[in-house]
């Protein structure tokens, strides 16, 4: 063996493999802007439903002929749904993939037939109530229009007779899209001794 030679004890092994974590994909700027915009709109909507209702509570109570404490139960019911519903959904969906859970909840709310049609009915009722009760009867829009003939005139006058009595005792009641004959309503008010006969 030549002088100065190095004797190796055995074959040289390769360097151990190191597991590398792939770098997270960065979303495109447009995708990021859309995502942030959607979160901002959602946060605004949630804040509006929770906090603006408190300031509008006297108007809501007056619109449905209820006391302010009674109308306040709307806020309590919403808060109860959030306080009870959020932890229950979080606990039941803790082991489920987040995206699948979100899509499943949206699909359930949209496609479960009773919930879907109940929500459609509530939306339609709210739109009609706004135009008939708040707009036509109480004139809560920027312009004033008093109907002069036909069904809308009878509906307008019937609602005015309904509100001729302070409170609910002795008032005439009917469906807000149904306009009974005015002479029948006046006779009912006279029988209840809440309307003074003319003349």
Helix (H) or strand (E) holding 62: helix 53-63
- CB of 124 closer than 8 Å to CB of 149: no
Higher pLDDT, 169 or 28: 28
Whether residue 20 has pLDDT greater than 80: no
Whether residue 197 has pLDDT greater than 50: no
Higher pLDDT, 166 or 125: 125
Looking up tokens 């829009």 gives 141
56-67 pLDDT, tens per residue? 888 888 877 778
Q: How far apart are the first and last CA of the chain?
A: 140
> Which whole number is the average pLDDT over 125-154?
82
Distance, CA of 13 to CA of 18 (rounded, Å) = 15
Helix (H) or strand (E) holding 61: helix 53-63
CA distances from 199 to 158, 159, 165, 196 (A): 21, 23, 20, 9
> Which whole number is the average pLDDT over 120-146?
82
Whether residue 18 has pLDDT greater than 70: no
The whole-number pLDDT of residue 146 equals 82
Distance, CA of 59 to CA of 126 (rounded, Å) = 15
Distance, CA of 70 to CA of 173 (rounded, Å) = 20
CA distances from 152 to 49, 124, 157, 182 (A): 32, 19, 9, 13
98-117 pLDDT, tens per residue? 888 888 877 776 777 676 77
pLDDT confidence of 1, banded at 50, 70, 90? low
């Amino acid at each position: 063996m030549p002088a100065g030679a190095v004797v190796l004890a055995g074959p040289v092994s390769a360097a151990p493999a190191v597991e590398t974590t792939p770098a997270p994909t960065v979303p495109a700027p447009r995708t990021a802007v859309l995502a942030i915009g959607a979160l901002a709109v959602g946060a605004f909507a949630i804040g509006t439903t929770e906090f603006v209702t408190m300031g509008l509570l006297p108007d809501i109570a007056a619109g449905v002929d209820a006391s302010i404490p009674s109308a306040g139960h709307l806020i309590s019911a919403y808060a109860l749904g959030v306080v009870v519903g959020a932890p229950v959904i979080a606990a039941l969906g803790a082991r489920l993939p987040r995206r699948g859970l979100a899509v499943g909840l949206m699909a359930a709310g949209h496609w479960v037939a009773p919930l879907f049609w109940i929500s459609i009915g509530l939306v339609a009722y709210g739109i009609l109530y706004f135009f008939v009760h708040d707009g036509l009867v109480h004139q809560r829009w920027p312009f004033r229009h008093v109907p002069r003939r036909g069904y809308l005139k009878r509906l307008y006058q019937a609602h005015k007779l309904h509100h001729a009595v302070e409170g609910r005792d002795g008032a005439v009641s009917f469906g807000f899209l149904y306009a009974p004959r005015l002479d029948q309503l006046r006779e009912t008010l006279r029988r209840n001794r809440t309307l003074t006969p003319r003349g």
